[in-house]
Amino acid sequence: MKALLLTSEFPPGPGGIGTHAQQLAYHLSNRGWNLLVLSPQEYASEDEIKLFIRKQPYKIVRLRRWPEILKVTDRFFKTLYWAHFWQPNVIIASGQRQTWLSAKLAKWIGRPWLAVGHGSEFLMGAAWERYLTRKAFAKANMVVVVSHYTESLMYGAGIQPRHVTVIPNGANPDIFRPELNMTNVRENWKAISGPILLTVGSVTQRKAQDLVIGALPRLVNEFPTLNYLIAGNPILQPELMGLARQLGVDQHVHFLGRVTADELPYLYNLSDIFVLVSRQANSGDVEGYGIAVIEAALCGKPGIVTRDCGLEETVIDGETGFVVNQEDPESIAKAAGRLLQDESLRKRMGWTAYKRAITEATWAIRIKEYDKLLRSIITDTIL
């Protein structure tokens, strides 16, 4: 079977949609699918991108960055060309504009298609953009949403899909696992000592690292050697470092920038608690699920996440971590403090998080569901 995957982002650069698309491509390839990926690849060097492409067991056609009008034209004709050349049995679309294009493309080449909903695409953009999103998702043969929260956003946007199912994101236990050999690892991260809170994700309004920094004064008062590590594209680093200085905790905050895929599992293992809180950004951007929480869980780390977003579905409150209120540094400090004070609780929650992730949330498990859905779409026997 042949599949064409259109996605708004793809590794080696960062991004949850890109990670999701990569795992789809890799695991579907392992299940016998012949994959062609069309995607931009940004926020990485040319050498990184070329090396990454050479290592993959599927074909990648990179969509280049151009000025907006040229970018739209280039990507449109390049996608049309490759769709006719590739003649896929099915199209998979991930990302707002990719679903717009796929709705037309599937009709032109007479192929079924699956749209993946992550959350933000149902809220972001001008009225005309949200209109196109509603029309596209309503035309898909199947819609997969990554969380029940995302499903609620889709229906809230007025979309009535033909068929919909929830398949949460996963993580790879071959890469993310506990008890890695950590010799000299701490020294590589600036010789940081003491307990460690970790957030992985671009430093943005949505990821709300400022709220964790806001919780640090109380935590540092109780745990003076505590450090907060922030890994990800440092978009708002100057503003957040200014906040840390204002609160007197700047010596405890460390911006690591973009961490490589090889380094990331060690960073999770180095940490004591994984913290990923969120808010809806002014642009409408939201957290539809939270792959990083599952990655941390596979490394045996309890999570602290916020409710009223997709993150809430990555943690069982009181069992694998804690779910706290949005915009509430005090509740973050209380949850983190409880875990830091009680080592046995922290280890027990970390172990429970690991067991849940390894039995329910690996990509190998998730891909079985995608594989079954895609084959049913092709044969017109949607389950």
**260 and 332 housed in the same domain:** yes
| Contact criterion met (CB below 8 Å) for 194 and 223 | yes
**350 and 297 housed in the same domain:** yes
- Domain presence at residue 307: yes
Q: Give me the chain's average pLDDT, please.
A: 92
- In angstroms, rounded to a whole number, what is the distance separating the alpha carbons of residues 352 and 345? 10
pLDDT digits (tens, 9 = 90+) for 124-155: 999 999 999 999 999 999 999 999 999 999 99
- Domain presence at residue 289: yes
- In angstroms, rounded to a whole number, what is the distance separating the alpha carbons of residues 226 and 218? 11
| Contact criterion met (CB below 8 Å) for 126 and 38 | no
Residue 322's CATH number: 3.40.50.2000
**pLDDT band at residue 76 under the 50/70/90 scheme:** confident
**6 and 86 housed in the same domain:** yes
Average pLDDT over residues 30-41: 95
- Domain presence at residue 152: yes
Predicted pLDDT at 171: 94
Predicted pLDDT at 67: 61
**307 and 333 housed in the same domain:** yes
Average pLDDT over residues 250-262: 91
**135 and 11 housed in the same domain:** yes
**32 and 68 housed in the same domain:** yes
pLDDT digits (tens, 9 = 90+) for 338-375: 999 999 999 999 999 999 999 999 999 999 999 999 99
| Contact criterion met (CB below 8 Å) for 194 and 272 | no
**pLDDT band at residue 255 under the 50/70/90 scheme:** very high
What pTM does this model have? 0.91
- Domain presence at residue 222: yes
Lowest mean pLDDT among 5-14, 60-69, 106-115, 316-325: 60-69
Residues across the chain? 383
- Domain presence at residue 176: no
Taking the CA atoms of residue 148, residue 154, residue 160 and residue 163 in that order, the dihedral angle to the nearest 10 degrees is -40
- Domain presence at residue 175: no
**233 and 356 housed in the same domain:** yes
Q: Which two tokens stand for residue 269?
A: 């293992």
Give the domain range for residue 294: 185-360
Predicted pLDDT at 284: 85
**207 and 265 housed in the same domain:** yes
Contacts of 68 (CB under 8 A, 6+ apart): none
Percent of the chain at pLDDT exceeding 70: 95
pLDDT digits (tens, 9 = 90+) for 274-311: 999 999 988 888 999 999 999 999 999 999 999 999 99
Q: Which residues pair with 255 in a beta bridge?
A: 230
- Domain presence at residue 157: yes
Give the chain's domain count: 2
pLDDT digits (tens, 9 = 90+) for 179-201: 877 766 666 665 577 899 999 99
Q: With 70 as the cut, is the pLDDT of residue 23 above it?
A: yes
pLDDT digits (tens, 9 = 90+) for 41-64: 988 889 999 999 999 999 999 987
Predicted pLDDT at 380: 83
**350 and 255 housed in the same domain:** yes
**30 and 131 housed in the same domain:** yes
Q: With 60 as the cut, is the pLDDT of residue 256 above it?
A: yes
**200 and 158 housed in the same domain:** no
